[in-house]
């Protein structure tokens, strides 16, 4: 599960997700879905990177895509 501030617009959360995931490989695209539950579909350069991302954050990998649930950041993380 990735922690983001769900009160922020998708553009800002896209940047947060991209920074978190870029450690594991090249992020090609991110699509954020907020309803009925928040998740991101993250396209990486290859299957191995998607599998590594899912191993780290949980979720499901389909080819070079990872589907990862999003969680609201704690108030302490937002204030920092």
Vertex 35 angle, CA 61 and 31, to 5°: 45
d(CA 68, CA 80): 24
**What's residue 78's pLDDT?**
52
Q: What is the CATH number of domain 2-79?
A: 3.30.70
**What's residue 74's pLDDT?**
81
Global confidence as pTM = 0.89
How sure is the predictor about 79, in pLDDT bands with cuts at 50, 70 and 90? very low
What SS3 state is found at 4? strand
Residues 16-75 have pLDDT tens digits of 999 999 999 999 999 999 999 999 999 999 999 999 999 999 999 999 999 999 999 886
Locate the domains of the chain by residue range.
Answer: 2-79
């Amino acid at each position: 599960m990735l922690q983001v501030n769900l009160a922020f617009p998708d553009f800002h959360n896209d940047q947060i997700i991209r920074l978190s995931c870029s450690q594991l490989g090249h992020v090609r695209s991110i699509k954020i879905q907020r309803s009925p539950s928040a998740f991101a579909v993250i396209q990486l350069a290859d299957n191995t990177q998607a599998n590594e991302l899912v191993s780290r954050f949980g979720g499901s990998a389909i080819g070079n895509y990872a589907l990862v649930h999003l969680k609201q950041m704690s108030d302490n993380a937002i204030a920092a």
